């Protein structure tokens, strides 16, 4: 097992943290926010590098009897405000730089919405679609044991992410609990309800994406840059997974015409709007959108350039760059995924009048309800679905209003405004606590 924190200075000099575009964009955005707000440069430098990282080997015996070794990571970016919080992703492109960037975004996200949590992230470099259920369980349990010294209800609380779900969290919880000798439901969030999960957690990220769309429309109407009600608008959703499917359905039930959605293999489009309930049923039965009746096939790239009012990039990072940003026709974008728009493309969109609700605000619903789940688990007192949703809506509204006020004050983009709000809270806490030793 390699502990990356033991060689962090060398790693920084060798550029290991900055190899992914996502990390480079995160640092660039942080610098921009710091410049606008005039932050203490010493604090800014501390925020650019993760506090701690662990790289682990994850060997498992495959169904055919062979042994394969996968790469695993867990990164804790900043824990000034509380325990680290962040998902575990299983994806073939997972690497230390990407995980570090996502951990940084989690720090900012938690601070933005006022949670007493820091930023963490983890993952295993694997394509879960190529694994059987038994192999997925084996890799989850071995990975959990390899990082067990880093996680815990009071230290670092993982959650589902790309390629993982409530079942993976159940395996993680059970593995951790077996090592401790007693049940510890608070070690992860996003668990099944039966073992301490929270009502509303599964829908929370996609639901939050639509909450901020509603607030954005209200704000844009006040500023005279938007005239339609949501029920009269058209939308396109890039990604039909845990976030995109919920966001598409939430838009649909509010009367918004969802023209297109997509998955890994491609998208489907109907100029008159899709029946999202029927699309979800088809997806459940076929495991992909391809072949859905009454719709035309489009590529994921074509989907991003469709004529629409609202675009929700809810799949993976880096899908809108300077190479394709000029194709985007939406006037309102709500980032359901983490880092779906590059920094340069974000600036281009804002300069051309597109209102972009940044990822650390738009998709914060997941970590907000994860926090609710963590609190409920610690208290062994659980809330109703209605109470969870009301609390989620309230937190999202407060965060949006705060970011909008900062945007107005500094005359900057929403991404920069959101980061200013986050950095203000984290930097004050860091300055109060001081630098040890």
- Residue 235 CB contacts under 8 Å (≥ 6 apart), including other chains: 248, 251, 256, 257, 258, 259, 308, 309, 310, 311, 312
List of residues 6+ apart from 240 with CB closer than 8 A = 248, 261, 262, 263, 279, 283, 289
Query: Which of 85, 121, 191, 331 is the catalytic position?
Result: 121
**Active-site residue flag, 281:** no
Residues 6+ apart with CB under 8 A from 310: 213, 233, 234, 235, 236, 251, 256, 330, 331, 332, 333, 334
263 forms bridges with which residues in the sheet?
266
Q: How far apart are CA 305 and CA 303, in angstroms?
A: 5
β-strands 257-263, 156-160: how paired? unpaired
Catalytic residues: 121
């Amino acid at each position: 097992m390699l502990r990356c924190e033991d060689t962090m200075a060398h790693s920084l000099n060798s550029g290991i943290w900055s190899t992914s575009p996502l990390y480079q964009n995160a640092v660039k955005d942080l610098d921009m926010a710091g410049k606008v707000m005039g932050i203490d440069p010493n604090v800014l430098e501390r925020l650019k590098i993760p506090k701690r990282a662990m790289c682990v080997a994850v060997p498992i015996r495959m169904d055919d009897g062979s042994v394969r070794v996968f790469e695993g990571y867990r990164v804790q970016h900043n824990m000034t405000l509380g325990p680290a919080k962040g998902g575990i992703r299983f994806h073939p492109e997972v690497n230390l730089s990407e995980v570090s960037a996502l951990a940084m975004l989690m720090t900012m996200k938690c601070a933005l919405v006022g949670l007493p949590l820091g930023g963490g992230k983890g993952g295993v470099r694997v394509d879960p679609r190529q694994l059987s259920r038994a192999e997925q369980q084996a890799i989850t349990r071995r990975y959990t044991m390899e990082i067990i010294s880093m996680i815990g209800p009071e230290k670092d609380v993982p959650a589902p992410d790309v390629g993982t779900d409530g079942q993976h969290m159940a395996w993680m919880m059970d593995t951790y609990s077996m090592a401790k000798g007693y049940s510890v439901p608070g070690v992860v969030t996003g668990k099944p309800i039966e073992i301490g999960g929270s009502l509303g957690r599964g829908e929370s990220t996609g639901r939050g994406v639509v909450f901020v769309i509603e607030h954005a429309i209200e704000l844009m109407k006040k500023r005279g840059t938007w005239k339609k009600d949501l029920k009269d608008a058209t939308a396109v959703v890039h990604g039909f997974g845990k976030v995109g499917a919920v966001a598409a359905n939430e838009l649909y039930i509010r009367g918004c015409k969802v023209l297109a959605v997509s998955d890994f293999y491609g998208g489907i489009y109907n100029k008159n709007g899709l029946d999202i309930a029927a699309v979800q049923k088809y997806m459940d039965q076929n495991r992909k959108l391809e072949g859905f009746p009454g719709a035309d096939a489009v590529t994921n790239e074509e989907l991003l350039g469709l004529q629409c009012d609202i675009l929700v990039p809810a799949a993976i990072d880096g899908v809108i760059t300077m190479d394709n940003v000029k194709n985007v026709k939406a006037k309102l974008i709500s980032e359901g995924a983490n880092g779906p728009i590059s920094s340069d493309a974000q600036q281009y969109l804002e300069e051309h009048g597109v209102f972009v609700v940044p990822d650390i605000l738009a998709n914060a619903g997941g970590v907000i309800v994860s926090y609710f789940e963590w609190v409920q688990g610690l208290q062994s007192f659980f809330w109703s679905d209605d109470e969870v949703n009301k609390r989620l809506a309230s937190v999202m509204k407060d965060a949006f209003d705060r970011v909008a006020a900062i945007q107005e004050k500094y005359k900057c983009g929403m991404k920069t405004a959101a980061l200013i709000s986050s950095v203000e809270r984290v930097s004050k806490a860091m300055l109060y606590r001081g630098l040890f030793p």
